Amino acid sequence: MPVITIEWLEGRSARQKAQLARAITEAFVEAAKVSPEQVWIVFRDVARADWAMGGKLLSDR
Protein backbone atom coordinates (compact mmCIF):
# COMPACT_ATOMS: atom_id res chain seq x y z
CA MET A 1 0.00 0.00 0.00
CA PRO A 2 2.93 2.36 0.16
CA VAL A 3 3.06 5.24 -2.30
CA ILE A 4 6.69 6.30 -2.70
CA THR A 5 7.45 9.63 -4.34
CA ILE A 6 10.94 10.52 -5.48
CA GLU A 7 11.65 14.14 -6.20
CA TRP A 8 15.07 14.85 -7.68
CA LEU A 9 16.93 16.68 -10.38
CA GLU A 10 16.12 15.65 -13.92
CA GLY A 11 18.76 13.91 -15.95
CA ARG A 12 18.67 10.34 -14.65
CA SER A 13 18.24 7.57 -17.18
CA ALA A 14 15.39 5.11 -17.52
CA ARG A 15 17.88 2.46 -16.52
CA GLN A 16 18.67 4.18 -13.24
CA LYS A 17 14.97 4.56 -12.50
CA ALA A 18 14.33 0.91 -13.29
CA GLN A 19 17.18 -0.16 -10.99
CA LEU A 20 15.84 2.01 -8.18
CA ALA A 21 12.27 0.82 -8.66
CA ARG A 22 13.45 -2.76 -8.32
CA ALA A 23 15.61 -2.16 -5.27
CA ILE A 24 13.06 -0.02 -3.43
CA THR A 25 10.28 -2.50 -4.09
CA GLU A 26 12.42 -5.37 -2.80
CA ALA A 27 13.20 -3.35 0.33
CA PHE A 28 9.50 -2.87 1.04
CA VAL A 29 8.64 -6.49 0.40
CA GLU A 30 11.37 -7.57 2.78
CA ALA A 31 10.94 -4.97 5.54
CA ALA A 32 7.19 -4.44 5.42
CA LYS A 33 5.78 -7.71 4.05
CA VAL A 34 3.76 -6.01 1.34
CA SER A 35 3.07 -7.52 -2.05
CA PRO A 36 5.24 -6.04 -4.85
CA GLU A 37 2.13 -5.02 -6.82
CA GLN A 38 1.07 -2.84 -3.89
CA VAL A 39 4.26 -0.80 -4.04
CA TRP A 40 3.63 2.28 -6.19
CA ILE A 41 6.59 4.48 -7.01
CA VAL A 42 6.41 7.85 -8.74
CA PHE A 43 9.47 9.72 -10.01
CA ARG A 44 9.23 13.49 -10.33
CA ASP A 45 12.09 14.99 -12.28
CA VAL A 46 12.71 18.62 -11.38
CA ALA A 47 14.57 21.04 -13.68
CA ARG A 48 17.58 22.89 -12.27
CA ALA A 49 15.64 26.09 -12.88
CA ASP A 50 12.96 24.86 -10.43
CA TRP A 51 15.16 23.80 -7.54
CA ALA A 52 16.83 26.21 -5.14
CA MET A 53 19.40 25.60 -2.42
CA GLY A 54 21.23 28.22 -0.42
CA GLY A 55 18.81 30.84 -1.71
CA LYS A 56 19.73 30.35 -5.37
CA LEU A 57 18.19 28.38 -8.21
CA LEU A 58 20.54 25.55 -9.18
CA SER A 59 20.53 26.91 -12.73
CA ASP A 60 22.14 30.11 -11.40
CA ARG A 61 24.83 28.49 -9.29
The pairing of strands 3-9 and 40-46 is: parallel
What is the end-to-end Cα distance of the chain in Å, rounded? Answer: 39
Per-position x/- string for 40-59, each x denoting binding to its own copies as judged by CB under 8 A, each - no binding: xxxxxxx--xxxxxxxxx-x
DSSP H or E run through 30: helix 14-32
Residue 18 carries which DSSP code? H
1, 2, 25, 29: the active-site residue: 2
Min CB(44)–its own copies separation in Å? 7
Q: Is 2 a catalytic residue?
A: yes
Give the binding site for its own copies (CB under 8 A): 1-9, 12, 14, 16-28, 30-32, 36-37, 39-46, 49-57, 59-60
